[in-house]
Chains A and B, each alone.
Chain A
């Protein structure tokens, strides 16, 4: 099965290269229909780069998500003045591997940024993400306050909000959160990572966090999400700071459905998606699937 999937995906990708853009998309749709659908790829292994690559490949490869000439935003969590070992920011190698794979798939430009919570300069340096992502060719920038734009969201808690234009103008978006505890949302993973493109007084969304996070998902639709669980933060999140609270899982979870990913992510902490208000809300409002039994999940060692 695995090999057949891979070959089909590879073939589709190969053909895709030679065909104009619109046809390409059609063909992609056709081939995915034929291929057995995989919702979540869970990849475990010692190398963050290798497991990231293997997980995305299991979903059909980066070409399945990125088209030639795309401007892509890869959005990690660079929220905190913490080093990678402290598991408060996304693993830099996971981010860099995705950047690299985007270029391999023909992306024109890959941008990486986050609106940090601590001082942005310290977060960017200590996280190691800019260093790794730039080495992979990404354009890493600090948030420029001029680039926020009021966007109508029409959600249950958020009617409109300032969002970052570089994200809104991108052809494709890849979400790369890290899995951590959070005192209100219980866990912060895919959905909560989008707070990093909100301008203005975003702290207020905690007043109705579960619905607000789903509201954001109405307008921000990543083509791919890779949840970093190379290290997870099991207490004192989202900031952490003590290595005692860090658990090394050497895992990434890749998929398109953010609710499904966060639902699976909950199991890493001994919870289920049903324990998380925003996952329940997302499932109820039709953003994605919470019930893991309805998903095709593929586990890989790499």
Chain B
């Protein structure tokens, strides 16, 4: 079989360079991130319209302390992920695994703080379609946006632990750790929009 035949028959991976000169796995993660951005953007844009249109939108958040701590934890976990990837690229496996697990621990702490906050709001009477403060849509939009984000954090923590362990065992390499890191940074990036739109706009003065 000639070179031209291989190309015509679709065995392009062996002959043609990958799209944008990046590994296929990384490209797949970027495509996932673009698609997931659209999902979150859909929720946040719809929420933004509802929030601005209703003058009596509930403002149940009395303090920014909890959300500030959660933000610092998540942004710091992005930094520790970068340290882990750098260590992996430098060939320091033990250090890479340590930073990856620190990142996962940050994610777990974030999730626990998030759940504690949810339980506090539920105690105050907030439900999916009702709350004591005003528009019934507040509960639906709050729980769906923060819930979707929390689901991503949980998935990210599981992915970090699994990839970290498999990287330590030699089944995965530094590229796999970097690709998992891309996902983790995306989770952090989404939080940068959730905090101002869902929490800070609804702060009681």
A and B held together in a complex = no
Interface residues of A (CB under 8 A from B): none
